[in-house]
């Protein structure tokens, strides 16, 4: 694909087009709705960036979230359980 883009630039240079004209033809055709496509592309890119940022914030909040609810014991094993084990032996 990169080779095709380079060939496209070479053909454009042979035709006497400037780099700006070649890029304009490649990205946005001189059609009736060129400005609409540019606007939609910008909106789409902004939505992708906002979504990426939101997912990053969401994941960092999930990482920092507590595993156990507030006020619960962290383990169900108590010292009395060990005392019973050693007395039975």
Going residue by residue through the chain (89 aa), what tens digit of pLDDT does each one get? 678 778 877 888 888 888 777 777 776 666 677 778 888 989 999 999 999 999 888 887 777 666 666 766 666 667 777 776 666 55
State both tokens at 57: 């914030």
State how far the Cα of 75 lies from the Cα of 50, in Å rounded to an integer: 40
CA–CA dist 19, 85 (Å, integer):
83
Do 24 and 38 touch, CB atoms closer than 8 A? Answer: no
| pTM of the shown model | 0.42
């Amino acid at each position: 694909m990169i080779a095709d883009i380079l060939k496209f630039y070479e053909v454009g240079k042979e035709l006497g087009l400037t780099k700006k004209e070649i890029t304009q033809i490649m990205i946005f055709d001189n059609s009736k709705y060129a400005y609409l496509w540019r606007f939609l592309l910008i909106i789409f890119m902004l939505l992708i960036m906002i979504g990426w940022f939101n997912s990053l914030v969401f994941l960092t909040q999930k990482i920092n979230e507590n595993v156990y609810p507030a006020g619960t014991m962290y383990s169900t094993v108590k010292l009395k359980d060990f005392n019973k084990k050693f007395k039975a032996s």
